[in-house]
Amino acid sequence: MELNFTRLSETFEKARYLLEEESKKDQETEPYKSKYAARELFLSLKSTLKKHQDQQSSDDETPNKYRFMMAALEYYIGVICVDTLEMATGEEHLGKCLEIIKDSELSSECIITALNTLNQLGLMWSRRGDPNKSKEYLLQAENFYTKYTTNGGKGPFTSADLFSDKINDEKLQANLQVLESVMTHTHYYLAQVYSALEETGKAAAYCHSTLKRELESKEFDPLDWSINAATLSQYFISNNKFDSARHHLACAVFVLEQFEAGFLATENTGEDFETKHEMLKQKKADIARCWIKYAHALLLSSKEKVMILADEDDDDDENDANAHSKSEFEELLERGIKTQQGDDSNDELEMLFKSLEVTALEDQVSAKAVMIFSEARQVFLNAQNWVGVAKEYYTLDDHASDYIQLMQDYSTLYKLLAFFEPNSDRQCKMHKRRIDLLEGVLKELNPQYYLDKCRQLKFELGEIYCHLLDTKTGMLRDSEIDLTSHAVQKINYLAKQSIHQFSTFLETFLDSSGEMPSKHPEENERPILLSHFFMGRLYSKIKVRDPKKELDYLKQSQHHFQRIVRYCEENDSAASSMKEELDVCKEMVKLLPIKMEKVLSTA
């Protein structure tokens, strides 16, 4: 008796609809109702096929068709079992599917079924916490796909096609897109697996491949795609692969801008429109923050290169004291260009979205190390524009933590830019801008709710004031001009402002009795001890004519150095993390009494 393929096809489609559509509407009290119903239909089809298989003679083609249909049913039953947390049973059915089509995986009737099944097994083992086992299945899927497409595989059958007797070449040819979609999922899963295995290079390659395949198929959500491309840029940034990082960020902006233009042209004012519009604004801000991280990393990497080259020059010529002169920078630039050659690996150069024209966006900011101030300034200005974009969404009122971090990042950009500025006066202006930014944020915060952020801001402000003090003192020393009353006031002001910030930072760690604990948490230990170290230095730099006041300041300096020495004697971990500073503290504890004796002798 011949099978009624019309009825088979109708039953199969009904089961698939229950599994893929109706199951989304199931109530929480019966989360698997539709999936169980679908499984019953698949099992009934399996029973019908089994009867017909048993009745067939050793014909070459028809039994094969039934066999491939049976494999598809085993696949769907296995998927449902996995979805309903019957993992062992699901694995058994998926294994049966592969067993049935063994040696036929590369046929047009089985390739999609084989890849789907291997993907499911890979996903299942990933969820079980065994990424190595997962990788085996996924790489096997990729291998089958490569062989099939390389050998000119014709249009493949979907599972639905196997249950129909009305298939033509045009329909099968259209299924090549289905095959590509399945392989896109394989690459997505491989990216997750390699990430779990901490093979970040391979994870990044498969992330890029997933995004590239989505672009080519035109099957993607622009909001998700753009943020995923921007997120992937962070991998390249962390590996100093700025060409690829910039490319991915530019593509993220390009796709998002295209979506935004079409989205806003709809002039919709419904609730869904508002929700989507809010998501759009957030994605823009998040991509802007990725650009800010890009600028930060590029400037920091450039700074390190300049310092290395400057150290090499110092080794060549110990008498060259002006390591940041303009002519020096020009020389470093020429040498720096040579050091950048060959930085990009062949793998990285292939990670491009060639279908997107983003040259104009890429040309807005460098991807090469900057060596002189004018170059660094261009990177800074580009990042400053992105700070403005991010601030449109991340406001202090609505997203306080994100806004605070954004301002901290902005401050760091100024700090890095100042490194490339050869003029000390202009350096100081940049650091003063940092102070304005951070103090403006700090005064708006309630320490009760944002204690950690307040601590970070106070500590950074203490560092900035201290750095300004050192810069001003150095300028005065280099000018060989006697200190004026105004200069002394400026130095003392900076010292006291720095002391104030570090003092209020330390006050946040006092216990309920107003005392500092004898042991600090590991994450706070070094910042607390560094605050004492800074204050020890700062008190000794305050300039006064009154010997009694000078003695008081020196005693304060001694007190802070002694606290560090005492704490490190009692805590070995602190002695290790503060090794360099501790040596200075011990030396100062010895020298300060001698200095105080001299002050006393002049009183």
Tokens of 85: 């947390």
**Predicted confidence (pLDDT) per residue in 367-378, tens digit:** 999 999 999 999
Q: What average pLDDT does the segment 528-538 reach? A: 97
% of the chain with per-residue pLDDT over 70: 91
Give, for 205, the enclosing helix (H) or strand (E).
helix 200-217
Mean pLDDT of 185-192: 98
Q: Residue 170's pLDDT band (boundaries 50, 70, 90)?
A: confident
Closest CA to 435 of 475, 387, 468: 468
Q: What token pair was written down for 218?
A: 């035109």
Distance CA 166, CA 89 (A): 33
Dihedral (Cα; 3, 97, 156, 47), 10-degree rounding:
10
Q: Specify the CATH number of the domain 5-220.
A: 1.25.40.10
Spans of all domains in the chain? 5-220, 510-602
pLDDT at 52 over 90: no
Residue 175 pLDDT greater than 60, yes or no: yes
Among 43-52, 120-129, 454-463, name the one with the lowest average pLDDT.
43-52
Encode 541-600 in three state secondary structure: HCCCCCHHHHHHHHHHHHHHHHHHHHHHHHCHHHHHHCHHHHHHHHHHHHHHHHHHHHHH
Which of these ranges, 110-114, 172-176, 252-256, 315-319, has the smallest mean pLDDT?
315-319
- The mean per-residue pLDDT over the stretch 513-520 comes to 90
Q: What are phi and psi of 240, to 5 degrees?
A: 55, 30
The pLDDT value recorded for residue 382 is 98
**pLDDT score for 132:** 98
CA dihedral defined by 345, 349, 350, 354, rounded to 10 degrees? 180
Q: With bands split at pLDDT 50, 70 and 90, how would you rate the model's confidence at 57?
A: low
Provide the residue type at 32 as one letter: Y
Residue 276 has pLDDT above 80, yes or no: yes
Q: What is the pLDDT of residue 314?
A: 63
Query: Would you state the pLDDT for residue 62?
Result: 58
Q: Is 540's pLDDT higher than 70?
A: yes
Neighbours of 481 (CB within 10 A): 10
Between CA 420 and CA 428, with CA 424 as vertex, the angle to 5 degrees is 95
pTM for the full predicted model:
0.88
**pLDDT number for residue 603:** 64
Residue 61: which pLDDT band, with cuts at 50, 70 and 90? low
Residue of 230, 225, 254 whose CA lies nearest to 244: 230
pLDDT of residue 231: 97
- Could you tell me the CA-to-CA distances from 358 to 247, 355, 385, 583 in Å, in that order? 8, 9, 18, 53
The pLDDT tens digits for 425-468 are 999 999 999 999 999 999 999 999 999 999 999 999 999 999 99
Residue-level pLDDT at 332: 41
Mean predicted lDDT score pLDDT of the chain:
90
Cα 540 from chain centroid (whole Å): 43
pLDDT of residue 336: 43
For the segment(s) 510-602, the CATH number from 1.20.58, 1.10.10, 1.10.3470, 3.40.50 is: 1.20.58
CA 230, CA 252: separation in Å to the nearest integer?
A: 6
As a whole number of angstroms, the distance between CA 473 and CA 488 comes to: 10
Q: What is the pLDDT of residue 54?
A: 74
Lowest mean pLDDT across 342-356, 489-503, 520-534: 342-356
Distance CA(203)–CA(206), nearest Å, equals: 5
Q: What confidence tens digit (pLDDT) does each residue in 390-434 have?
A: 999 999 999 999 999 999 999 999 999 999 999 999 999 999 999
Taking residues 95-105, what's their average pLDDT? 96
Phi-psi region of 483 (alpha: psi -120 to 50; beta: other; left: phi over 0): beta
